[in-house]
Amino acid sequence: MSTYTIGEVADRSGFTASALRYYEGIGLVTPASRTGAGYRVYDEHTLARLAFIARAKQLGCSLEDITDLVAVWDGERCGPVQRRFHELVTDNARTAQRQIADLTTFAGQLRTAAAQLGREPVDGPCGDDCACVSPATGAPSAPTPVALHDEASEAPIACALQPDAMPERVAGWQALLGQASARTTAADGAIRVEFGAGADLGQLAGLVAAEQHCCAFFSFAITVDARGVGLEVRAPDSATDLVTSLFGGPA
């Protein structure tokens, strides 16, 4: 079996040498052996273990969760590992959805407060009747969307996604958009996709973030209100056909 120094493992795994030493200190990783001079030596099993740890970290598992998972993984039976992994990832997905909903609500509160604070100030010191002290009264007639990108018109109409990654991205959108209950076009040309109350916010937000990262000319906004979850997509006029082909037109 091949063996590797800590530097070689760092290069192959993506973890730094200091992270590997830390993981050894908390029991996540153990060198296969040490040289006569005391240098750590790792093997293929270590690389497989680190790949598993990297996957768990990518899906939001804490070090405590990963320690639990690795203990099951060491049993060399996939079934128990996958079941435990599923439990943890499902919990993380629920947490992400709650965080998105909370941030959506908070963003709406901030925008409402910003609009109130933008009014003409009272004549005199701050008091109960000024915007600095008194919260806005009443609820907005329509939900305030959380804009994930506000400067799409300034970005070139180009996609930075590698060609071999495009089929997977398109498939992800198609799977999600297949759950849409309706599509409409706003007065400004934006396409609005309605998903209903049971939409997976974590999946939607993840796809939006990934798409905007590679296609900065898109502008996305996610809304959560009595209608359920909605996604609004905007782009420059020159990208209208692309928006329609990816997200569809009115249903």
DSSP for 158-186 reads: ---S-GGGHHHHHHHHHHHHTT-SEEEE-
Give the pLDDT score at 38.
80
Give me the residue label for tokens 């070689």: 8
Give the pLDDT score at 142.
41
CATH topology of domain 3-76: Multidrug-efflux Transporter Regulator; Chain: A; Domain 2 (1.10.1660)
Tell whether pTM > 0.75. Answer: no
User: Could you give the CA distance from residue 110 to residue 120 in angstroms, rounded to a whole number?
Assistant: 18
User: Could you give the CA distance from residue 232 to residue 180 in angstroms, rounded to a whole number?
Assistant: 12
User: Could you give the CA distance from residue 65 to residue 89 in angstroms, rounded to a whole number?
Assistant: 10
Handedness of CA 57, 62, 68, 71 (dihedral sign): positive
Residue 163: both structure tokens together: 């060609």
Give the pLDDT score at 83.
92
Give me the residue label for tokens 């680190």: 50
Give the pLDDT score at 127.
79
Which residues neighbour 30 within 8 Å (Cβ) at sequence distance 6 or greater? 24, 46
Cα angle, residue 135 at apex, residues 129 and 141 outer, rounded to 5°: 115
Q: Which residues of 65-101 are buried (b: 16+ CB within 10 A; e: fewer)?
A: bbbebbebbeeeeeeebeebbeebeeebbeebbeebe
Whether 237 has a pLDDT exceeding 70, the answer reads: yes
Whether 149 has a pLDDT exceeding 80, the answer reads: no
pLDDT 10s digits, 103-145? 777 777 777 777 778 888 888 888 777 877 766 544 343 444 4
pLDDT 10s digits, 14-70? 888 888 888 888 888 888 888 878 888 888 989 999 999 988 888 888 888 889 999
Domain ranges of the chain: 3-76, 146-247
